[in-house]
Structure 1
Amino acid sequence: MNYNLKILTEKDLPAITTLCQEASDYMILATGTSNPTKEALDLLTALPPQKKSEDKLLYGIFDHHNHLIGVLDLIRDYPTAKSWMIGLLLLTPKMRAQKIGEHIHNQIMAQIKAENGTEIRLGILKNNPRAQEFWERQGYTFQEEKIGTVAGVLMPVYAFKRKL
């Protein structure tokens, strides 16, 4: 598995926009439409209430040609101290089902443990059973159904959690 993780910044906005175009199926599933330019900016800047930019880590997942093939959005100490939130793990369609997500998750889990994190939380779109199956295979368990926001649109999501 040849890929590298790198923290993304505003200078990566063009590559993130291209990724959002390539993986527009996710946003169309979520909201019924896709606006890659807005989605890319949201990935870089969106934060939960009371969180600061230093609490956010947006990792780019790059292939061996240094092409951005995915992103992982992480929020430290959210919703509580020592709890981390995965905002999104998104891969381009051609890179899915190759165990990349599983490898990235394992790598990030080790990082969170090293930083004394005790759990990881995430939300899954109610209408995304493939994502639910993926996260359940990674050891996450259902907590509750909530209303979440994706690209400014309110929708039903399943809250999942995994203890470390």
Structure 2
Amino acid sequence: MFTNRETAPERYQVGNSPAVSLRPITIEFPFGDPPCTPRRPTKAHALMTDPEIRLLVPGSDNAAVRDLYDRAADFVMLESGTEPSDAMVEQFFTDCPPGVDFATSQKLGMFRPSGQLVAIADLAFGYPEADDAYVGLLLLDESCRGMGLGRTFLDHLTGIARARNARRLLIAVLDENARGRAFWEREGFRLLQSFPDFKIGPKTHVAHRMWRSL
């Protein structure tokens, strides 16, 4: 979609025990419930300490992308008012901003060491300006949010954009997705423009385009 997303205290103390330092807990795009308290490392966190990020291949990765959409159905419903479908997978692999050379776009996936796909991203170049990079989608498995993976993926996308000499990175976030917008704002993105009456399926949204310098 080319319109496209709370941090816990860094230190806390229990009783008379010393204060413990934690990394900020971030709720990544697209959608998720904010944690009530800082989270301690879990087995799931350990499994994702060294995720693999690679280009996705149309056809051979379709089933994995569809499975991820099913595990992120909360955002699909928020965005489109519908359930995940095979058509959404096809759209992910073929979507491209207007006027952009599709061959320059990148569809990327983040994988567990086990090989399970836990996040996808869509990165295009030359939109809206020739020297811009645009994140059309950054979607995480609902069970993997709050682990810093959104920031990790964003850092990877930023590196690609800088290597392509892009001067800005842009995203769009739906007004309905307030937690998502808070994530982007914490990552340094600023409002550029708002688009009212943006339709996705049967739903009508206000979309906010945001940007940060590279």
TM range (shorter): over 0.9
> 1:3 aligns to what?
51
State how 1:1-164 maps to structure 2 within 5 Å. Answer: 1-10=49-58, 11-147=60-196, 148=198, 150=200, 155-164=205-214
1:110-163 C-alpha deviation (Å, 9 max, x unpaired): 221121110011110110011101101110001121144546865310110111
- Contact preservation (8 Å) 2:123, 2:157: no
Q: How many residues align?
A: 164
* TM-score w.r.t. length of structure 1: 0.93
* TM-score w.r.t. length of structure 2: 0.72
- Greater helix fraction, Structure 1 or Structure 2: 1
Identity of aligned residues (%): 24
How far residue 51 of structure 1 moved from its aligned partner, in angstroms, is 2.1
Q: Distance in 1 between matches of 2:50 and 2:199?
A: 33
- Contact preservation (8 Å) 1:71, 1:88: yes
Indicate the structure (1 or 2) with the bigger Cα radius of gyration. Answer: 2
- Contact preservation (8 Å) 2:81, 2:203: no
> Any gaps of 5 or more consecutive residues in structure 1?
none
2:127 is aligned with what amino acid? Y
Q: Which has the bigger relative contact order, CA under 8 A and spacing at least 6?
A: 2
Seen in structure 2, the aligned counterparts of structure 1 residues 60 and 5 have a Cα distance that, compared at 3 Å, is same
- Greater strand fraction, Structure 1 or Structure 2: 1
Seen in structure 2, the aligned counterparts of structure 1 residues 48 and 61 have a Cα distance that, compared at 3 Å, is same
- Contact preservation (8 Å) 1:58, 1:71: yes
> Any gaps of 5 or more consecutive residues in structure 2?
1-48
Q: Distance in 2 between matches of 1:57 and 1:114?
A: 14
